[in-house]
Homo-oligomer: A and B are copies of this chain.
Amino acid sequence: MLFFTQCFGAVLDLIHLRFQHYKAKRVFSAAGQLVCVVNPTHSLKYAPTLYPAAQTSTEQSILPPCHHHEAVHDPQLVPCMCPLFSCPWEGHLEVVVSHLRQTHHINILQGAEIVFLATDMHVPAPTDWIIMHSCLGHQFLLVLRKQEKYEGHPQFFAMMMLIGTPTQADNFTYRLELNRNQRRLKWEATPRSVLECVDSVISDGDCLVLNTSLAQLFSDNGSLAIGIAITTSKVHNSEAEM
């Protein structure tokens, strides 16, 4: 009897994931785009058909300051690489990917353009939604963080980070796009390196920032679909040094 109950639960889960996948595909109609459903859960569950990689950090409500790794002086050690609040891990750049895969069960998506569907946007801050993305011969990390910089005023911060050095990161441009109800919001920027800290990217304002109203405007039933594209950098003619 327990076996049948579990089977039924699994089937329901698959139907639910399929439904979310279908919804995200409707938002971004470009054929062949991979839709990735990302849940903010504690469990490290993993559904191969949809590549979910779900992480959360609600067990730690106080932000660890970026400088809690100040004792690290080896410049090759990655101090704040793991964007999850709860993970104190630090290590060399070369083993960041394996750490994220093995410890956090975060999968790697392939393809230059994907859709990141973050579910359960209503969960309290701080929470992270993260995924790895393999593209143009490099690995990138997409981090969506819900955080209260000001008490009672949660904001969402979305950014792409290269698992590489800042110099390597300068060779790329990424675009995040929200699109719903005849509203469209696009953020284009050079990715930051994971050698930098998620917190410092947020405090620099160097990411896509959404307040709660904007997030609700673009969400559907608590899920936010973010279209992601990565290209190699070109010189932007229209932005002269000022």
Chain A interface residues (CB < 8 Å from chain B): 23, 26-30, 149-150, 152-153, 155, 173, 179-190, 203-206, 208-217, 220-221, 233, 236-240, 242
Contact = CB atoms under 8 A, between A and B. Distances in A.
Contacts of A186: 184-186, 188
A214 B220 contact: no
A205 B209 contact: no
Contacts of A240: 26-27, 29
Dominant SS among interface residues on chain A: mixed
Nearest to A182: B190
Contacts of A206: 183, 213, 217
A209 B178 CA distance: 14
B185 A236 contact: no
A161 to B, nearest CB: 15
Contacts of A188: 183-186
A91 to B, nearest CB: 29
Contact of A181 (B30, B183, B239): B239
A22 to B, nearest CB: 10
B217 A213 contact: no
11 contacts: A150-B150, A180-B239, A184-B186, A184-B188, A184-B189, A185-B185, A185-B187, A204-B217, A205-B217, A206-B217, A209-B213
Contact of A209 (B26, B152, B214, B220): B214
The 10 closest A-B pairs by CB, nearest first: A205-B213, A184-B188, A205-B214, A186-B186, A26-B240, A220-B242, A150-B153, A183-B189, A205-B217, A29-B238
Contacts of A211: 155, 205, 209, 211
A203 B216 CA distance: 11
Contact of A236 (B179, B204, B214, B242): B179
Contacts of A181: 239
A215 B204 CA distance: 10
A215 B221 CA distance: 30
